[in-house]
Chains A and B, each alone.
Chain A
C-alpha cells in the first residue's frame, strides 16, 4: 500500500492516477419473495482518481447510498466489478477484505446514530485500531488518537478524549467521525451526506476541514449528496445519478454552468437561491412527477417518461451510453445536440 501522505507532482484534481474504478456495477434487491426486482444500481461505471473529490449527486432512490455501500464492500454487487490497484475488490475475502476496508473508509450521514453512546471519544477512535490490530500498546494507540484529534481540530485533545458522544455538538461529532476514518490512514473516503444533519452555520466549517485534510493527505473522496449546491463548493467532478445510473459526469463547473442532460438541467432549475424578488413568482418546472420505482425502470432512456424533449427514438432505441461531448464532460442523452 502506498503511503497516503506522499504527494507526487501532477497529482492535482483530475490528473492523478485512477485509484478506483467501477465497471458496469449492478445491485439488485429482491422483494416479495423474488417476484419484484429492485434495480438499485443498474450499470454504473466511473473512475476515481487519486486526490480527487467526486460528487455523486441525485435524488433519493437514485442508488447513490447503495453505491457507497458497494464501494465499502458492506454489500456485494449482483454483477460488475470494483477495481482497486488492478485487483477486483468484489472478489476479496477474509483478511484481504479487512485490509481493503482499511484503505476505504466511510463517514456516515447521522453523527448521532453512528457512534456507540456508551463509548468515550477515546474508545470510538480506538476501536478501529483494535479491529485492524494497529498499535501494539495502549500508549501507542493513545498517541495516534491524539494526533488524529488534532488533525480534525478537536483541541485541546485532553478536553474531549473522555467525553461521551452526547456531550458533543453535531459538528464536533462529525469531526470525530472523520477522525475515526482517518486514524486508519485510508486512501479513499466515502462520505455519505456528511453535513446534511449539521447546522448551516457550522456546515461550511466541516466541509472546509474535510477539504483541507483531503489536500494534505492527498486522499480521494466520494461525496454522496442530494445537495448540488454543496457539491459545487466541495467537489472537483460531479456525477449526476438517475435511477441507478450516471446520466451526466464532468467537472463541477462544466456540469453546473453548462449542463447537458435534461435531468441535470431540471435539478439545477429547481434549486432555490437566497435572492430577493421571487415571492410572487412560480418556478417553471420543466419536468413533471416524481422518480419512478426502481422496480420498473422505463425501457430505452430511463428518463424519457419525465423528459420534456423525449421523442420516439428515446424509448424505441436501446438506452444511450455515456458519451463525451468534449473535455471529459460525459452525458447519456441521445438528443443532446438538438435540445
Chain B
C-alpha cells in the first residue's frame, strides 16, 4: 500500500500512525467488521477530517485511537502509534496515565448533554484530572491554574467553574467539554461531531474557537463528522470512510476544489449536500443503504450502490492507491480514469 508520509508540506512528521487496523464487534449475530484494515497518518499540527455516514466506523475509529473500543468490540489486529509509541496491546493502567488525556483526548458526540448534573464544572474537571493526570500533572495546586487557564482560553468567564451544567447554555456547555479535553494539554484531540447538536450560529462560533485553539496551541485534530460542509471549513485533509474501510483520502483542495473527489461515493455524498447559496432543483442521493458489516460485499463494499460498478468491482477488492500526490483512493474506476489521464 502506498502511503504519503513525507509528501505533506508543512507537516514534518506523523504524530499518529495507524496501520491496517481491524476492530470487530463480537455480537450474538456474528462478527461485525467495523474497521476492516484502515491505514493513515495524522501529522503534527494537522486537522484530519473523518467523514462518512452513520455506521461507517467513524466513532469506532475515534474510540480505537484511545484503545477504548466499546464492548463487545475488540482490536483484532493492526497498529496505532502515537508519538512513536505503540498503544495496541498496552495495559489499561498505562493507557489511562500515559495516553488518554495525556496525549490524546476526545470530545465525545453529545458529551455536552451528558455532563453529570450534580457536579460543578470544577468537579467534573477535577475528576478527569484524578483519572488521568497523576503522571503528567501530579501537583494538585497546579490543577486549579490549568483549569482556569483553559476555561478562559475557550472564552468562558472564571465563575463557570462553580456552575452546574444546567445553568449553562448549549454553546457554553460545548465550550466546557472542549476545555475538559484541553486542560491536561494533550497533543491530539479527537472531535466527534462537536457541532452537530448546536444551532447554526453557535456552530459557527464553536468552529471559530476550534480553529483558533489549533492555531494558537499547535494542536492536532481528528475531526469526525457526517457533514462534508463542516469538513471543508476545518480539515486540512479529509478521509472518507465507507462500511469500515477507507474510500478516499485527499487534501481539502483535492476533495472540495474544482476538480472534485474521485471516489463515486464521495462524489455522491458531495452532490447530496444541499447548498444554500446555489439553487438546485435536484439533489443527488444514493439508492439503497450501507451493507451489513457481518457479511459485507466480498469485493468493493460500495459496488452494490455504485452507478459505475462493472463486473470487476464485484469480483476484486480495489486497493488503496495514491493517484496523485497525497490523494489516495480505493476504486477501480478512479484508478483507470487517472491512468487514462496520464497517457
Contacts and interface: CB of A to CB of B under 8 A. Distances in A.
Interface stretch (B102-110, B231-239, B308-316, B322-330): B231-239
Interface string A255-286: 01000000000111111111111110011010
B54 interface: yes
Contacts of B273: 200, 229, 274
Contact of A275 (B207, B256, B274): B256
A271 B232 contact: no
A129 interface: no
Contact of B47 (A171, A199, A229, A279): A279
Contacts of B207: 272, 283
B272 interface: yes
Contact of A59 (B201, B233, B236): B201
Given A204-B285, A270-B200, A279-B47, 5 more contacts: A200-B53, A201-B53, A201-B286, A228-B276, A274-B229
7 contacts: A200-B227, A208-B285, A267-B201, A273-B275, A273-B277, A274-B270, A285-B204
A199 B226 contact: yes
A279 B257 contact: no
B279 A202 contact: no
B83 interface: no
Interface residues of B, number: 51
Contacts of A309: none
B228 interface: yes
Contacts of B277: 256, 273
Interface residues of A, number: 42
Given A275-B256, A276-B253, A270 B204 contact: yes
A208 B283 CA distance: 8
Nearest to B273: A274
Contact of B255 (A230, A276, A287): A276
The 9 closest A-B pairs by CB, nearest first: A204-B283, A276-B256, A59-B199, A205-B285, A270-B204, A272-B229, A204-B285, A201-B286, A229-B274
Contacts of B169: 290
Given A203-B272, A285-B204, A273 B229 contact: yes
Interface in B240-264: 252-253, 255-257
A192 to B, nearest CB: 16
B232 A200 contact: no
A232 interface: yes
Nearest to A168: B289
A169 interface: yes
A233 B233 contact: no
B275 A272 contact: no
A290 B283 CA distance: 32
Contacts of A283: 204, 207-208, 233
Interface in B179-237: 199-205, 207-208, 211-212, 226-236
A56 to B, nearest CB: 15
B124 to A, nearest CB: 21
B159 to A, nearest CB: 17
B200 A59 contact: yes
A202 B286 contact: yes
B307 interface: no
A308 to B, nearest CB: 13
Contacts of A230: 274
A194 to B, nearest CB: 14
A207 interface: yes
Nearest to B56: A199
Contacts of B269: 200-201
B272 A267 contact: no
Interface in A227-255: 227-230, 232-233, 253
A271 B232 CA distance: 12
Contacts of B289: 169, 171, 199, 202
Given A273-B232, A279-B233, A202 B201 contact: no
B201 A274 contact: no
A279 B252 contact: yes
Nearest to A198: B54
Q: In this complex, which of A59, A200, A205, A287 has the most chain B Cβ atoms within 10 angstroms of its Cβ?
A: A200
Contacts of B231: 274
B200 A271 contact: yes
A268 B277 CA distance: 9
A302 interface: no
B285 A274 contact: no
A226 B253 CA distance: 29
A207 B283 contact: yes
B272 A201 contact: yes
Contacts of B233: 272, 278-279, 283
A229 B275 contact: yes
Given A200-B273, A276-B252, A285 B201 contact: yes
A227 B277 CA distance: 13
Nearest to B235: A279
B170 interface: yes
B200 A267 contact: yes
B297 interface: no
Contacts of A199: 53-54, 226, 289
A97 to B, nearest CB: 34
